[in-house]
Amino acid sequence: MLTPPLFAALAPARNVLIAGAGGGLDAAVKLVTWPTIVHGQIAAATRGAFGDVQFTRRTSGSTLFVNPLTAMYFTVDLDKLAARCLYIDRIENAWGRRQVTGRIEAFRSEISPRIPRVFPQ
């Protein structure tokens, strides 16, 4: 069986974060029981499918465009990402979203963040 290049690139990774997976659903668990459209697009893109790809009855009768770059947008080596996070030590033992948000806000108040820019799509 042919291994898609993305899977080959991810093979050495211990953790992979799937961001923007819709509704906070865990991709590894909920994808099987309730396939979200975003999960389906990510899965289709990692298989190499693109264009009008139908993967669930929920999208039947509509045009759904799967961007071939989606697999790259939604995958990351979590260890490498965490290593670049300047406030990881502040949030690693946090409990709940409020603690995480509060600790990130405290960190940002101590630095001069970059001016936000529009990200070209």
Q: How far is CA 67 from CA 63, 104, 106, in A?
A: 13, 32, 37
- For the stretch 54-110, pLDDT in tens is 877 777 788 888 887 877 776 677 788 888 889 999 988 888 889 999 999 999 999
Query: Are 17 and 82 in contact, with CB atoms under 8 Å apart?
Result: no
Mean per-residue pLDDT, 39-65: 81
Q: Which residues of the chain form beta strands (DSSP E)?
A: 51-52, 65-66
Burial of 22 per CB tally in 10 Å (0-12, 13-18, 19+): middle
Whole-model pTM over 0.85: no
For the chain, the structural domain boundaries read: 5-76, 85-113
